[in-house]
Amino acid sequence: MKKRVFMFGIHNHQPVGNFDHIFKETFNNGYLPFINILERYPEIRISLHYSGPLMEWIEKEDVGYFDKIRRMVERGQVEILSGGFYEPLLSILPEEDSIGQIRMMTGFIRERFNYDPKGIWLAERVWTPDLSRIINLSGMKYTVLDDTHFFYAGLNHKDMFGYYITEKEGYPIAIFPIDKFLRYSIPFKHPQETIEYIKKSVADYNFDGITYADDGEKFGIWPGTYKWVYEEGWLEDFFRTIKENLYWIEMLTFSEYLEKYPPSGRIYLPMASYEEMMEWALPAHVGVRYEEALKELENKGMRERLKPFIRGGLWDNFLSKYPESNQMHKKMLYVSKKARNLPNLFPRVTNNEDRTEYYKPDPLLVELYKGQCNCAYWHGLFGGIYLNHLRHAVYKHLIKAENLIDKRYCKDKDWIMMEKIDIDADNHNEILISGGEINAYIDPDYGGSFFEIDYRPKCFNLSNTLTRREEPYHRKIKLPNGDTHTNETISQPPSIHDIIKKKEKGMEDMLSYDWYLRRSFLDHFLGEGTTLQDFMICSYPEKGDFIRNRYEIVEDETIKGDGREIRVILRRLGQIHENGVYREIEVSKGFSFPQKGAIINSIYRIKNRSPEELQLWFGVEFNLTLLSGDDSQRYYFIPGIELKEERLNKSGEAIELKEFGMKDEYNKFQISLSFEEPTAIWYFPVETLSQSESGFQRTYQGSVILSHWKIGLKREGMKEISIKLEIKEI
Cβ proximity of 294 and 303 under 8 Å = yes
Per-residue confidence (pLDDT) for residue 487, from 0 to 100: 41
Q: Are residues 160 and 287 in the same domain?
A: no
**Contacts for 243 with CB less than 8 Å, ≥ 6 apart:** 41, 43, 44
Beta strand pairing status for 614-624 and 695-713? antiparallel
Q: Are residues 235 and 292 in the same domain?
A: no
Look at residue 89 and tell me if it is in a domain: yes
Look at residue 247 and tell me if it is in a domain: yes
Which residues of the chain fall short of a pLDDT of 70? 1, 346-359, 411-412, 480-491, 494-504, 560-563
Look at residue 472 and tell me if it is in a domain: no
- Among 409, 428, 451, the domain boundary falls at 409
Q: Are residues 392 and 537 in the same domain?
A: no
Tens digit of each residue's pLDDT (9 = 90 or more) over 321-365: 999 999 999 999 999 999 999 887 765 555 444 444 556 789 999
Rounded to whole angstroms, how far apart are CA atoms 116 and 485? 48
Q: Are residues 278 and 266 in the same domain?
A: no
**Catalytically annotated residues:** 124, 215
Radius of gyration, CA atoms only, the chain: 28
Q: Are residues 402 and 532 in the same domain?
A: no
pTM of the predicted model over 0.85: yes
Cβ proximity of 421 and 430 under 8 Å = yes
**Contacts for 727 with CB less than 8 Å, ≥ 6 apart:** 437, 438, 453, 455, 462, 598, 599, 669, 670, 671
Q: Are residues 260 and 277 in the same domain?
A: no
Strand partners, 587: 572, 606
Q: Are residues 189 and 283 in the same domain?
A: no
Cβ proximity of 690 and 386 under 8 Å = yes
Cβ proximity of 381 and 693 under 8 Å = yes
Look at residue 343 and tell me if it is in a domain: yes
Per-residue confidence (pLDDT) for residue 556, from 0 to 100: 77
CATH number of the domain residue 334 falls in: 3.20.110.20
Look at residue 429 and tell me if it is in a domain: no
Q: Are residues 288 and 328 in the same domain?
A: no
Could you tell me the CA-to-CA distances from 466 to 49, 247, 346 in Å, in that order? 32, 56, 33
Nearest-10 Cα torsion for 653, 658, 664, 668 = -170
Q: Are residues 259 and 287 in the same domain?
A: no
CATH number of the domain residue 537 falls in: 2.70.98.10
Look at residue 154 and tell me if it is in a domain: yes
Look at residue 481 and tell me if it is in a domain: no
Per-residue confidence (pLDDT) for residue 248, from 0 to 100: 96
Look at residue 451 and tell me if it is in a domain: no
Q: Among 34, 77, 66, which Cα is nearest to 214's?
A: 34
- Among 368, 388, 409, the domain boundary falls at 409
Tens digit of each residue's pLDDT (9 = 90 or more) over 173-228: 999 999 999 999 999 999 999 999 999 999 999 999 999 999 999 999 999 999 99
Q: Are residues 222 and 289 in the same domain?
A: no
Per-residue confidence (pLDDT) for residue 480, from 0 to 100: 65
Alpha carbon of residue 177 to chain centroid: 26
**What is the SS3 assignment for 346?**
coil
- Domain count for the chain, please give it: 3
Nearest-10 Cα torsion for 520, 526, 531, 532 = 0
Q: Are residues 566 and 686 in the same domain?
A: yes
Q: Are residues 169 and 257 in the same domain?
A: yes
- Among 409, 426, 443, the domain boundary falls at 409
Per-residue confidence (pLDDT) for residue 361, from 0 to 100: 86
* Domain interval for residue 296: 273-313
